[in-house]
Amino acid sequence: MWFRALRPYRLPNRLGIDAEELERRLQTRTFSACTPAQATSMGWVPALADTASALVHAAGPFWMVRLKREEKLLPATVVREEASERCAQIAKAQGRKVSRRERLAVADEVTQDLLPRAFSRSSTIRAIIADQLGWIWIDSSSAGRSEEVLNHLREALGSLPAVLAETQKAPAYVMTQWLLHGGLPEAIELAEEADFVDQREAGSSVKVRGVPLDSEEVLAHISSGHQVEKLALEWGARVAAVVDKDLSLRRLRFSDAIREANDELIEDPLARADADFMILCEIIKGLQGDLLNAFGGIAE
The residue with greater pLDDT, 10 or 203, is 10
Select from 50, 33, 51 the least CA-distant residue to 42: 33
Query: What are the pLDDT digits (tens) for 102-113?
Result: 888 888 888 888
133, 122 contact by CB (below 8 A):
no
Helices (H), 158-202: 171-181
Give the C-alpha separation, 290 to 188, whole Å: 8
Amino acid at 184: L
Higher pLDDT, 120 or 140: 140
Given phi > 0 = left and psi -120 to 50 = alpha, else beta, which region is 115? alpha
For the chain, the average pLDDT equals: 90
Stretch 198-208: mean pLDDT, rounded? Answer: 75
Overall residue count recorded for the chain in this entry? 300
For residue 201, pLDDT beyond 70 = no
**Among 251, 257, 287, CA closest to 3:** 251
Span 55-59, mean pLDDT? 96
Q: Bridge partners of 69?
A: 42, 123
The interaxial angle of helices 171-181 and 216-223, nearest 10 deg, is: 130
For residue range 239-265, what is the model confidence (pLDDT) as tens digits? Answer: 999 999 999 999 999 999 999 888 888
Helices (H), 139-266: 143-157, 171-181, 216-223, 256-259
Say whether pLDDT at 74 is over 70. Answer: yes
Strand partners, 249: 6, 243
Q: What dihedral angle (degrees, nearest 10) is formed by the CA atoms of 183, 186, 192, 198?
A: -40
Query: Starting at the edge strand that comes first in sequence, how are the strands of the sheet with 226-235 ordered?
Result: 205-209, 188-198, 226-235, 239-244, 249-254
Distances (CA, A) of 114 to 6, 39, 68, 236, 276: 36, 10, 23, 52, 42
pTM confidence score? 0.86
Question: What pLDDT was estimated at residue 203?
Answer: 62
